[in-house]
Each structure stands twice: as C-alpha cells, then as structure tokens.
Structure 1
Amino acid sequence: MPKIKIDDVEYDTENMSDNAKAQLASLQFNEAHMHRLRNELAIADTARMAYSSALKKELETLKSKKVAKKD
C-alpha cells in the first residue's frame, strides 16, 4: 500500500477517493513537468553563458585587430 506525505501527514493512497487520486495524479504530473522545465532552463542558461563567452572572445579579437591596424 503506497503512502504519500503531505505537510508531515502520511496518507495511504489505497484509501483515497477517486477525486483525491486524480488530484494526486495531477500533482505528480505537475511536479514532473516543473522538473523538466528546470532542466530546460539549466540548458538554456548554459547556452547563454557559452554565447556570452564566445561574444566576448570575438569582441576582444576585433578590438585587437583594430589596435593592430592603427599601428
């Protein structure tokens, strides 16, 4: 008999009403969806940092070339 804990109260899922089971399923689906979104955000944040780093490197290269042309 699976149990869940909500606000430090343990509930036996086998004794839940159909409505409570549906709410639990929705909650579990939502938790999984939020987890996927957090993972996607981490990927996007990593990409943003890589793009920023590449841009800085490119700008430094351009700056160096301009300085070299002036000489």
Structure 2
Amino acid sequence: MAKITIDNTEYEFDSLSDEAKAQLSSLQFVDAEMERLKAQMAVLQTARMSYSRALKEALPTIQGETIQFN
C-alpha cells in the first residue's frame, strides 16, 4: 500500500477519507501549478532582460551616455 507523510506522520493512502484524498489531490495540484508558474516567471524575466538590452541598444546616445533602465 502507498504511504504518504504529512507533518512527520505516515499515513496509508488507502485508509484516508475521501475528503482527505480530495484535499491531498488539491494540494498536489496547487504545488505543481506553483512550480509551473515559477518556471514561467523565470522565462518572462529572461525575456524582459533581453528586451531591455535591445531597447537600450536602440535608443540614441545623449552626450556620450546612454539612458539607464532598472
């Protein structure tokens, strides 16, 4: 039988109530979704840095200095 550990206590999955199984399923979904969003955020941050660099290169130089963006 499959066992799961929650707060350092081990449980037999099959012995959990339907409500506990549903809550566990929801928790697993939320954890997976958070990981997916973290990965998406990393991609978006990389794209933002690239667009920022491209914008800086496209801007005119003002008296020998370029405009700085954060």
TM-score, length of structure 2 as denominator length: 0.77
Is the counterpart of residue 63 in structure 1 residue 61 in structure 2? yes
List gaps (5 residues or longer) in structure 1. none
CA displacement at 1:53 relative to structure 2: 1.1
Distance 1:20 1:9 in 2: 14
Distance 1:20 1:55 in 2: 52
Matched residue SS, 1:63:
coil
* Aligned residue pair count: 64
Distance 1:53 1:10 in 2: 51
Q: Which has the larger radius of gyration?
A: 1
TM-score, length of structure 1 as denominator length: 0.76
Structure 1: 4+ residue segments shifted above 6 A: none
- Aligned CA RMSD, in angstroms, stands at 1.8
Q: Residue 48 of structure 1 corresponds to which residue in structure 2? A: 48
Identical residues among aligned pairs (%): 52
Q: Larger helix proportion, structure 1 or 2?
A: 1
Q: Map residues 1-71 of structure 1 onto 2, 5 A cutoff.
A: 1-59=1-59, 62-63=60-61
